[in-house]
């Protein structure tokens, strides 16, 4: 139905213009969306997501849970993993240890909630504006996958953690006008970051140039 609607619109458009390469446009519309393969295939074992913010750049701190829960939700809904442990459990363990100024090693964090694999997400940047006036939400993090039982890194095998970036685009000026809108925008950015991290682990469509132009 969507394809028929698009073709009907194209027919109307082309009938009102002097030149229109219908064949090229139909080929574009009918072709499958471009896709990207998983960067790493997760082992299907009990897994937990832990979002760390050592630099304290994410405010309020509950947004850490928003990111972790989005990753967990996506991986379960896409049937990438069968068993995932609630991020709330591992955040609770981490908060208790941090209270005494003793960060728990990643493998111990995973073991504390009976996880076999830990997806470790370290927040490196989270901002809604670059100049204090113009909305330009950007979030950055790095990702590692840890084999908790064997105390070794699964991904990436070498070098630094895998970088991930998320944005919110085409934002209406009113999104920074009040505290309520700022809160919603922060949560949206956190959700987008979780979505981008989850996509590392499954094949997904990447969209086409010119899509998603509606202002939010």
Q: Does the pLDDT of residue 186 top 60, yes or no?
A: yes
| Interval 12-63: pLDDT, tens | 555 555 555 555 444 544 556 788 999 999 999 999 999 999 999 999 999 9
What is the chain's percent helix, strand, coil content, to nearest 5?
A: 40, 20, 40
Q: Which DSSP helix (H) or strand (E) runs through 75? A: helix 63-77
Residue ranges and CATH numbers for the domains of the chain are 47-202 (3.40.50)
**Number of Cβ within a 10 Å radius of residue 178:** 10
pLDDT tens digits for 91-146?
Answer: 999 888 766 667 788 899 999 999 999 999 999 999 998 887 788 999 999 999 99
Phi-psi region of 100 (alpha: psi -120 to 50; beta: other; left: phi over 0): alpha
Question: Across the strands, what pairs with 147?
Answer: 117, 152
């Amino acid at each position: 139905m969507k394809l028929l609607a698009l073709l009907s619109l194209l027919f109307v458009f082309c009938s009102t213009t002097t030149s229109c390469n219908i064949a090229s446009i139909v080929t574009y519309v009918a072709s499958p969306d471009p896709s990207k393969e998983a960067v790493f295939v997760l082992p299907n074992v009990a897994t937990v997501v832990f979002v760390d913010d050592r630099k304290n750049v994410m405010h309020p701190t509950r947004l850490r849970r928003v990111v972790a829960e989005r990753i967990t939700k996506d991986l379960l809904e896409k049937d990438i993993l069968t068993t995932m442990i609630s991020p709330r459990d591992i955040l609770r363990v981490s908060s208790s240890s941090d209270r005494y100024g003793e960060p728990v090693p990643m493998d111990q964090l995973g073991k504390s909630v009976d996880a076999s694999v830990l997806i470790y997400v370290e927040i490196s940047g989270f901002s809604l504006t670059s100049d204090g006036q113009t909305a330009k939400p950007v979030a950055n993090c790095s990702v590692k996958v840890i084999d908790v039982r064997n105390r070794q890194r699964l991904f990436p095998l070498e070098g630094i953690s895998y970088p991930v970036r998320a944005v919110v685009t085409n934002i209406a000026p009113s999104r920074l006008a009040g505290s309520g809108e700022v809160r919603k925008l922060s949560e949206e950015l956190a959700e987008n970051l979780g979505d981008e991290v989850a996509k590392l682990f499954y094949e997904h469509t990447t969209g086409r140039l010119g899509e998603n132009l509606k202002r939010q």
